Chain A
């Protein structure tokens, strides 16, 4: 590869035009040529196809999620007190906030859909065969991490839906044998859902998972390049024989077209049907019927069939077996035969799993509609969401404002002192309740440390430093001065 860095021809060829010279300048220094070659010249046996676009589209979606996510973080505060207010602020006040938030929320659904398509394509084309086990496993890990992203992200708005869906989700963890309850407490940061849960989910969603995903994407792409594109199902996965076509331009074009279409669809959805925010989570609400995001509905429905002692089968045994089956696929299915019609068992199992998921998802919706009590409650919840969305944004009163410093003024002498403080215009420089201004230092906290005698003396005879800062000797009757000192001492 080293020679790729070497410029060909003499350095000062007169016929080199400007663009070419600039290109060469960079090529010699950072190897643009080999980078571009590495990125764009990957050979694809049998040529470019629309079926191969999903991987690139996923990468594109991940970038889009990262960008929208970073922007959302500009206004978001991950505490139980503020999360919902900040989200309402984003959705109702910030320019383009509702759009970006919707783009991020719909984007997560898009990731799941495209991931399933990517998986399906890889599976049907038998593209996991031929020394691609690690590649496949890295893909499975990415699938798991992306689902974890969706799960952790769902809680962050801290509305009713988020709160109760996550309560159910974390409760499920407690079914895991032996470590179940520890696991649940670990996820929640305690026994109950609360602000610590939110912090944990936030850290997972914003730092840990994206970090892991980034690393795994790099590994996934590297392993893919190492194994080479598998080509169509008729191709030998280890020693491809079909004539190859480079990744650039046709495959890149196809990938880009689909990615652009994807973002346009997401944009249209976000613009015309933005994601809604429900009322703030109310843990005391016992009526609320929690429903997870659509892609978790099959699992949700599945769990209904395993009550009591059986639940361990539903929550742990069967999902674990399924996971082993999926992750271990390239180990179980070792033949090099890739054509789906020659692999009836594998394809059959795959279709059965998919059909089960779809059926359960549909059943979940269907049962909700059949049960009048639930249907009514769900309708009520939707109505509450609609109502909340129509209300104007209500800012949160800052804890530090008005009432807080006043609370300490209980002593009647201090109350009288406050009148004098305001009447003598002390507040002009030292601020309301001694919080300080540009013109004068903060008193709250400082004056409380001093004894009444010291304060009296300072007020009557300010130090030269104080006089320099425009502090005047206080000339009021002793009685009033006493009250003022009492007030100053009460400022915490």
Chain B
């Protein structure tokens, strides 16, 4: 059978015979447009949840690090030197939770506010011990030195030690553990 538009052979139904422009593909165009439109609307409406479903990990933080408990605030009330504490960090990996242990420093309170420092050196990432004898943080790798407040004294570190976001909830000091980009003068969170 010839499907050319002008032959009209064997054709029944509502095809208007007089239009020159009409092709097999659009000869019955009104219903076609209607159908196409309806299907497109429903298709679009349905593709929204599909897309949001597929993009869920990008639109919400599925690998977010939550708040970790450090301890009751009373414990840190009378600190005179930075105190090293181990925290458990729950990290979400989709439907899994990865638990790991990290070290942090709680600094002596200033005006009642507790600060929490990351022990990771902003130079190349060694973890910095508090050296009691010298009352300083001294990095074992390239001997960057920081004060009790984490301020840089000397050495190759490009910035002070990094503050971690912390808060007090129901008398418990909490921290959000994060990593920061090394070797740059500003504190930038590593995603």
Q: Which residues of A contact B (CB under 8 A)?
A: 1, 3-4, 8, 15, 17, 19-20, 23, 32-34, 36-37, 67-68, 71, 74-75, 82, 85-86, 88-89, 93-97, 99-100, 243-246, 248-250, 252-253, 256-257, 260, 263-264, 267, 393, 395-398, 400-403, 422-425, 427-429, 432, 437, 439, 470, 472
Distance A244 CA – B10 CA, assembled complex (angstroms): 10
Assuming the contacts A398-B98, A425-B126, A439-B125, asked whether A264 and B42 have C-beta atoms less than 8 A apart, the reply is yes
Residue pair B24, A97 in contact (C-beta under 8 Å): no
Q: Is B133 in contact with chain A by the CB < 8 A criterion?
A: no
What 1/0 mask marks residues of chain B from 127 to 141 whose CB sits below 8 Å from any chain A CB? Answer: 111000000000111
Contact with A395, one of B21, B97, B101 (Cβ below 8 angstroms): B97
Q: Which residues of B contact A8 (CB under 8 A)?
A: 2, 4-7
Partner of B3, one of A4, A256, A398: A4
C-alpha spacing A341/B169, complex, angstroms: 78
Q: Which of A17, A96, A403 has the most CB of B within 10 A?
A: A96
Given A34-B3, A260-B42, A423-B129, 12 additional A-B pairs, CB 8 A? A17-B21, A82-B95, A93-B56, A246-B12, A250-B31, A263-B42, A395-B92, A398-B97, A398-B98, A403-B99, A425-B141, A439-B124
* Binary A-proximity of B146-164 (CB < 8 A = 1, otherwise 0): 0000000000000000000
Q: Given A95-B53, A425-B127, do A253 and B31 touch, yes or no (CB 8 Å)?
A: yes
In the bound complex, residues from chain B placing their C-beta under 8 Å from that of A253 are 31, 34-35
- Please give, as numbers and ranges, the residues of chain A lying within 8 Å of B141 by CB-CB distance: 425, 428, 470, 472
Instruction: Indicate if the CB atoms of B94 and A397 lie closer than 8 Å.
Output: no
With beta carbons under 8 angstroms apart, the residue of B24, B46, B95, B128 that contacts A36 is B24
- Whether B72 is near chain A, meaning CB under 8 Å from some CB there, is no
A97 to B56, CA, bound (A): 9
Contact sample, A vs B, 27 pairs, CB 8 Å cutoff: A4-B1, A36-B25, A37-B24, A75-B94, A82-B95, A85-B95, A86-B95, A89-B94, A95-B60, A97-B56, A100-B50, A246-B11, A249-B14, A249-B35, A250-B13, A252-B31, A263-B42, A267-B46, A395-B97, A402-B100, A424-B140, A425-B139, A425-B140, A427-B127, A428-B120, A428-B125, A439-B124
Within 8 A of A (CB), among B18-73: 20-21, 23-26, 28, 31-32, 34-35, 38-39, 42, 45-46, 48-50, 52-56, 59-60
The CA of A87 and the CA of B2, in the complex, are separated in Å by 53
Compute how far the CA of A264 lies from the CA of B3 in the bound complex, rounded to whole angstroms. 36
A245 adjacent to B13 (CB under 8 Å): yes
When C-beta atoms are compared, the residue in chain B nearest to A15 turns out to be: B20
A97-B53 in contact (CB<8A): yes
Interface residues on B, range: 35 or more
Whether B95 contacts A23 by the Cβ 8 Å rule is no
- The residue in chain B whose Cβ has the minimal distance to the Cβ of A26 is B25
User: A427's closest neighbor in chain B, by CB?
Assistant: B127
Q: Bound complex: CA of A455 vs CA of B30, how far in Å?
A: 82
Give the top 4 A-B pairs by smallest Cβ distance, nearest first.
A96-B49, A89-B95, A395-B97, A8-B4
In the complex, B178 has a CB within 8 A of chain A: no
Whether the pair B93, A398 counts as a contact (CB closer than 8 A) is yes
Chain A residues within an 8 Å CB radius of B139: 425
CB distance from B127 to the nearest CB of A (A): 4
Are B97 and A425 in contact (CB-based, < 8 A)? no
Are B49 and A100 within 8 A (Cβ)?
A: yes
Q: Contacts A86-B95, A267-B46, A429-B126 hold; do A23 and B25 have CB atoms under 8 A apart? A: yes
**A4/B2 contact (C-beta < 8 A), A252-B35, A402-B99 known:** yes
Chain B contact residues, CB within 8 Å of chain A: 1-7, 11-14, 20-21, 23-26, 28, 31-32, 34-35, 38-39, 42, 45-46, 48-50, 52-56, 59-60, 88, 92-103, 120-121, 124-129, 139-141
Contact A96-B52, Cβ < 8 Å, known A34-B3, A396-B96: yes
List residues of chain B with CB within 8 A of the CB of A37.
Answer: 1, 3, 24
B58 CB, min distance to chain A CBs, angstroms: 10
Instruction: Say whether, besides A246-B12, A398-B97, A432-B101, A95 and B42 are in contact (CB < 8 Å).
Output: no
Q: How far is the CB of B92 from chain A (nearest CB, A)?
A: 6
Contact, CB under 8 Å: A244 / B12: yes
Contacts of A3 in B (CB 8 A): 2
The answer to whether A100 and B53 have CB atoms under 8 Å apart is: yes
Q: Return B164 CB to nearest CB of chain A, in Å.
A: 16
CA distance A246 to B27 in the complex (A): 13
Which residues of B lie under 8 Å from residue A97 when comparing CB positions? 53, 56
Q: Could you tell me the distance between the alpha carbons of A437 and B190 in the complex, rounded to whole angstroms?
A: 14
Cα distance, A424 to B6, chains bound together (Å):
88
Which of A4, A32, A245, A397 is close to B96, meaning CB atoms less than 8 Å apart? A397
| A34 and B102 alpha carbons, distance in the complex (Å) | 68
Give every chain A residue within 8 A of B120 (Cβ-Cβ): 428
Q: For residue A427, which residues in chain B have a CB less than 8 angstroms away from its CB?
A: 127
Chain A residues contacting B42 (CB-CB under 8 Å) are 260, 263-264
* Minimum C-beta distance from B37 to chain A (A): 11
Residues of A within 8 A of B88 (CB): 402
**What residues on B are CB-neighbors of A403 within 8 Å?**
99
**CB-based nearest A residue for B86:** A422
CB distance from B18 to the nearest CB of A (A): 16
The answer to whether B3 touches A96 (Cβ under 8 A) is no
Given contacts A17-B21, A36-B25, A472-B141, A402 and B101 within 8 Å (CB-CB) = yes
- List the A side residues contacting B28 at CB < 8 Å: 248-249
Q: How far is the CA of A423 from the CA of B84 in the complex (A)?
A: 11
User: Which residues of A lie under 8 Å from residue B45 when comparing CB positions?
Assistant: 267
Nearest chain A CB to B177 CB, angstrom units: 12
Q: Roughly how many angstroms separate A264 CA and B42 CA in the complex, as a whole number?
A: 8
Q: How far is the CB of A324 from chain B (nearest CB, A)?
A: 41
Query: What is the CB-to-nearest-CB distance from A334 to chain B, in angstroms, rounded to a whole number?
Result: 32
Q: Which residues of B contact A397 (CB under 8 A)?
A: 96-99
Residues of A close to B60: CB separation below 8 A: 95
Tell me which of B20, B34, B99, B121 has the highest count of chain A C-beta atoms within 10 A of its own C-beta: B99
